[in-house]
Amino acid sequence: MENKEQWIRDTAAQSTSWKDFAERLGYSYQTARVWSMRYNLDIPDGRVGNPSGSPKQAERNHDIWHRRYNLNETLQSIGERYGITRQRVLAIAKREAKRLAKEV
């Protein structure tokens, strides 16, 4: 039993999102959620812009905001750089602007 719990904890520590956690375990998302609640694990959400997202996502969001509002790059050029749509670039830039405004 302890080996299984340790394996789950180790897997959770390496995971970047719920989907990643479930895939690493080889089980469904629902089963992964049950195990995380049972063992009180903190799994990153993995969504862009979410506070529990990875540091790389936070860095990317800030870079998108910087390119959009400070360097005046187009939505199209930023989207091509990151492989996302213009609409997604705009949404990320606006969300990051709100987040930064709260920090000030």
45-91: per-residue pLDDT in tens? 665 555 546 678 888 999 999 999 999 999 999 999 988 899 999 99
**Bigger pLDDT: 46 vs 17:** 17
* pTM for the predicted model, two decimal places: 0.51
CB of 64 closer than 8 Å to CB of 93: yes
Cα torsion 65, 71, 76, 79 to 10°: value is -40
The first and second tokens of residue 78, run together, are 């930023």
> 55-65 vs 86-103: helix axis angle to the nearest 10?
100
State the residue for tokens 């180790």: 10
The first and second tokens of residue 51, run together, are 């506070």
- CA 13 vs. chain centroid, Å, equals 15
Q: What three-state secondary structure class fits 84? A: coil
Among the ranges given (30-34, 67-71, 78-82, 92-96), the one the predictor scored with the smallest mean pLDDT: 30-34
Percent of the chain with pLDDT over 90: 32
| Inter-CA distances, 21 with 8, 38, 47, 53, Å | 9, 15, 14, 14
Distance CA 31, CA 28 (A): 5
